[in-house]
């Protein structure tokens, strides 16, 4: 028990604050914490994200986000789609008179703007055995081989974007089928003054030139739009995503649709406007379904985070 100080020293009451502090009341209050305890919702979200990361990039595995289907189911879907495409395409070209009328209309439009290279390219190609052989092989072999290979490569290397690029392929092809029905068009090789380079080079011919129009295995009046060019451009765009870190490879793969466009015109199988239409369909489908995909996914992720965030 402390008493008054010795005589001559003024007495002051002892402070209850520690000697190291100036004033207890001057200490700022601790900042409010914003951390929340991890509850069941956040735990489930963490586990879900970990599972998605572990399965992403593994071919044949179903991504928890649903961006890539099972391999067997996807193979069945693609095969069924291509078989349906071939079957429906054969039914489209039955109006021969309309097809030749549409072909002459396209040629007239091209001549009106001074862009009608079909006859010059076709004549030059037919006059060269080497060009005829190379262009015929390119036209006949690559269309149905490169496209499936690129689709499989997209499944393997682009798991996050596979559905988008596959849907762009489906949309382009379906739109082309609609064009075959609404605008049957004869190719240049069926008009006077043009050579059928593929048939002349291949003997019996990819197009089976002997039977009358409409009875062979391939619809010969399905020139508008050109899916040779449409599929080639789609393949090049997919490959540019796969090799996006190598600029020279991206430029190289874009040569595929360019060469294909020249080949289909030089062999007398398509008009220039067919080429433009095929490339345009692919570009529109790609822009709508692939280019806009990251923005849509980001917006969807933000909405999911808001919904799953505990209150």
- Predicted confidence pLDDT, tens digits, the chain (311 residues): 555 555 555 555 554 545 444 444 455 555 555 444 444 444 555 555 554 444 444 444 444 444 678 889 999 999 999 888 888 877 766 788 899 999 999 999 999 999 999 999 999 999 999 999 999 999 988 988 999 999 999 999 999 899 999 999 999 999 999 999 889 999 999 999 999 999 888 664 444 444 444 434 566 788 899 999 999 999 999 999 998 878 888 888 999 999 999 999 999 999 999 999 999 999 999 999 999 866 555 444 445 444 444 44
Q: How far apart are CA 151 and CA 277, in angstroms?
A: 22
According to DSSP, residue 43 is labeled H
**pLDDT (0 to 100) of residue 4:** 55
User: 101-131 as b/e, with b when 16 or more CB fall inside 10 Å?
Assistant: ebbeebbeebeeeeebebbebbeebbeeeeb
| pLDDT in the model for residue 245 | 79
Contacts of 26 (CB under 8 A, 6+ apart): none
- In this prediction, residue 221 carries a pLDDT of 84
Topology adopted by domain 68-300: Vanadium-containing Chloroperoxidase; domain 1 (1.20.144)
Contact 268, 197 (CB under 8 A): yes
pLDDT for the residue numbered 65? 47
pTM for the whole thing? 0.71
Q: How far is CA 272 from the centre of its chain?
A: 24
Phi/psi of residue 186, nearest 5 degrees: -80, 140
Which pLDDT value is given to residue 86? 83
Q: Which residues of 203-235 are buried (b: 16+ CB within 10 A; e: fewer)?
A: eebbbebeeebeebeebbbbbbbbbbbbbbbbb
Q: How many CB atoms lie within 10 A of CB 96?
A: 16
Element (H, E) at 225: none
SS3 189: helix
Report the C-alpha gap between 22 and 182 in whole angstroms: 90
DSSP collapsed to 3 states, 93-161:
CCCHHHHHHHHHHHHHHHHHCCCCCHHHHHHHHHCCHHHHHHHHHHHHHCHHHHHHHHHHHHHHHCCCC
The dihedrals phi and psi of 208, each to the nearest 5 degrees, come to 50, 70
What whole-number distance in Å separates Cα of residue 281 and Cα of residue 164?
A: 15
> For residues 71 and 63, is the Cβ–Cβ distance under 8 A?
no
């Amino acid at each position: 028990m402390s008493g008054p100080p010795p005589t001559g020293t003024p007495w002051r009451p002892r402070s209850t604050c520690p000697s190291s502090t100036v004033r207890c009341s001057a200490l700022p209050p601790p900042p409010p914490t914003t951390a929340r305890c991890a509850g069941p919702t956040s735990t489930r979200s963490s586990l879900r994200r970990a599972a998605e990361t572990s399965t992403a990039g593994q071919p044949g595995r179903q991504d928890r986000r649903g961006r890539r289907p099972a391999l067997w189911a996807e193979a069945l879907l693609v095969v069924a789609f291509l078989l349906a495409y071939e079957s429906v395409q054969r039914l489209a070209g039955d109006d021969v008179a309309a097809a030749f009328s549409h072909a002459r209309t396209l040629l007239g439009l091209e001549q009106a703007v001074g862009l009608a290279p079909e006859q010059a390219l076709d004549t030059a190609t037919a006059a060269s055995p080497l060009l005829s052989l190379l262009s015929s092989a390119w036209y006949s072999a690559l269309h149905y081989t490169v496209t499936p290979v690129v689709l499989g490569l997209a499944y393997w290397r682009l798991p996050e974007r596979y559905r988008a690029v596959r849907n762009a392929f489906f949309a382009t092809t379906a739109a082309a089928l609609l064009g075959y029905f609404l605008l049957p068009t004869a190719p240049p090789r069926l008009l006077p003054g043009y050579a059928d380079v593929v048939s002349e080079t291949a003997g019996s011919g990819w197009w089976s030139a002997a039977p009358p129009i409409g009875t062979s295995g391939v619809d010969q009046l399905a020139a508008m739009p050109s899916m040779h060019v449409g599929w080639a451009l789609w393949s090049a765009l997919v490959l540019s995503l796969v090799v996006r870190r190598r600029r020279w490879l991206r430029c190289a793969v874009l040569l595929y649709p360019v060469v294909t466009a020249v080949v289909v015109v030089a062999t007398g199988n398509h008009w220039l406007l067919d080429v433009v239409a095929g490339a345009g369909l692919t570009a529109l489908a790609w822009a709508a379904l692939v280019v806009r995909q990251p923005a849509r996914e980001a917006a969807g992720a933000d909405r999911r985070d808001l919904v799953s965030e505990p209150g």
